A and B are shown apart, each in its own frame.
Chain A
Amino acid sequence: MSSESPQTPSYDPAAHYDHITAAWALLLGEELHYGVFDHADDPLDVATRALTGRMVAAAHLDEAPSGTRVLDVGCGSGAPAVAMATAHGVDVVGITTSGVGVETARKRAASLGLDGVTFEQRDGMDNGFPDASFDVAWALESAHLMRDRPALLSEMARVLRPGGRLVLCDLLRFREIPFREVRERRVDFATLRAAFGDAHFESLDYYVEAVRGLGLEVEVADDLTQATLPTFDRWRANAELHHDAVVDLIGVEGHAAFVGSCDILEAFWRDGTFGYGIVGARRPA
């Protein structure tokens, strides 16, 4: 699946994103995330914009005054950051540990001549920005790749100004998976790891309680599992449509791992093991 030796695969998020960014643009679409399907026949790009729209609404960006600063934690290839800046006139700082992600995102912003959108290679679990320096801390589907979730949330809360908002959407875990099941299904879990990196999911309740514990007021906590379910059909269709190009980028094994992962995840979505959700919370003024 890669130029790396199969004996020494890297599931580190930065290395993983460096490796898959180009292929995922073909497989997942330009925004590199799930979609929220208001209608079963919505195209993927409509659905991914709908998910971004949920985040925009939770962040109250539609009413953001000029000069609003947004920190996009785990900014991927920069598409949501660029979309936010374009549609809402906000200043966005996107951070990711992936050098390829930063480079891709910078090119995207430059090609549009956008001011006020910058991208930096930083770690969301220790972002290094001053306290109270952003109006919105935004994490779109990046939390599951950050091993120290308390540090991620604490850092997002720390940089919020009074009245600022934390918004996060991500994959969720709805039940504990006993060790015996992990062992029995280790091939499935290893396939997911090969395709999506070293991911770990939390429950919606975990995120709600965690941000409350940081002194934030929870405004949104929605389960989007059913609304995101058609995503897997669209990803499989993209894998078929772009088969040759994806194989050129991540190899036959990478392509197969991705398609297999769609099947595995869809089954987990349907049996109530995994799903998707969004949380929005506000720092009291």
Chain B
Amino acid sequence: MTTSPADVERTVTDFLTRIEKLPEGFGDSTPLYADGAELDSLETAELSATLEDVHGSDPYSSGEMPQTLGEIQAFYAALPA
């Protein structure tokens, strides 16, 4: 799978659906933690590992703590081609 915004969104929404935490109206500006998807630290670690498994790298392992899907997509968009 590529690191296109659409593919990254699919990875994140599939993950949130699997753990039953996909908020209604989820979009690229919905918070991933409080007042949004309500991910806790373990679920965030699992999302980090899922992103790495699917896309080869992930923002969390690079020291970032993205707050939204949009920030995750921005991480991949900034990677060297």
User: Interface of A with B (CB < 8 Å)?
Assistant: 7-8, 10, 177, 179, 182-183, 186, 189-190, 193, 198, 200
Contact = CB atoms under 8 A, between A and B. Distances in A.
A182 B20 contact: no
Given A189-B42, A190-B46, A200-B40, A183 B60 contact: yes
Interface of B: 18, 20, 40-42, 44-46, 48-49, 60-61, 65
B60 A186 contact: no
B18 A182 contact: no
Given A190-B42, A193-B42, A200-B40, A179 B60 contact: yes
B18 A186 contact: no
A173 to B, nearest CB: 12
Which among A10, A179, A183, A193 has the greatest number of chain B C-beta atoms within 10 A? A183
A36 to B, nearest CB: 29
Given A8-B18, A8-B20, A182 B42 contact: yes
A190 B40 CA distance: 12
7 contacts: A177-B41, A179-B65, A183-B48, A186-B42, A190-B46, A193-B42, A198-B40
Given A190-B42, A200-B40, A183 B18 contact: no
Given A7-B18, A8-B20, A183 B40 contact: no
A200 B40 CA distance: 10
Given A190-B42, A200-B40, A183 B20 contact: no
